[in-house]
Amino acid sequence: MRYRKLDQNGDYSMGHGLSDWLANTPAAVGQAVQTRLSLFTGEWFANIKDGLPLQNILGFGNLLQCDYAVTQVISNTPGFMDFASYQSYYNQTTRTFMPTAIIDTIYGQTNYAVGIQL
């Protein structure tokens, strides 16, 4: 598995040769999870089935449905093996859903945490 690194702004890193890539590491799988959860289903022309199905969870406030959608995307990410732990939190004021996971990958263990604006 090989992924181009993202910088602190979420843009591709370029101009640094091989150091711009994550290859066969837990971080590569973690970044794959991050980018797949940042993508809406149908948004990417090359695979319209990939991404988070926000159209099914937006505005409903059903945390179980949100958890299910997020864990499905994570578990279908290449390199994923199992969840070591999973938790989520919803902030009603900011309408931010925050899933946090420690996942076992084929390369080792990695953490995932990001806010998803609902």
Q: Which residue has the higher pLDDT, 50 or 106?
A: 106
The structural domain count of the chain equals 1
pLDDT tens per residue across span 41-60: 888 888 888 888 877 676 65
Q: What is the CATH number of the domain that holds 104?
A: 3.10.450.40
Length of the chain: 118
The DSSP H or E segment spanning 2 is strand 2-4
CA proximity to 76, closest of 103, 58, 56: 103
- Give pLDDT, residue 76: 94
pLDDT tens per residue across span 8-34: 888 889 988 988 999 999 999 999 998
Q: Which residue has the higher pLDDT, 73 or 56?
A: 73
Q: Which residue has the higher pLDDT, 51 or 82?
A: 82
Tell me how far apart the alpha carbons of residues 19 and 106 are, in angstroms, rounded to a whole number.
21
pLDDT band at 106 (very low <50, low <70, confident <90, very high): very high
pLDDT band at 118 (very low <50, low <70, confident <90, very high): low
Give the three-class secondary structure for 32.
helix
Return the structure tokens found at 26. 């837990």
Which residue range forms the structural domain that includes residue 75? 2-117
- Give pLDDT, residue 44: 83
Specify the residue for token string 């089935």.
49
Provide the whole-model pTM: 0.85
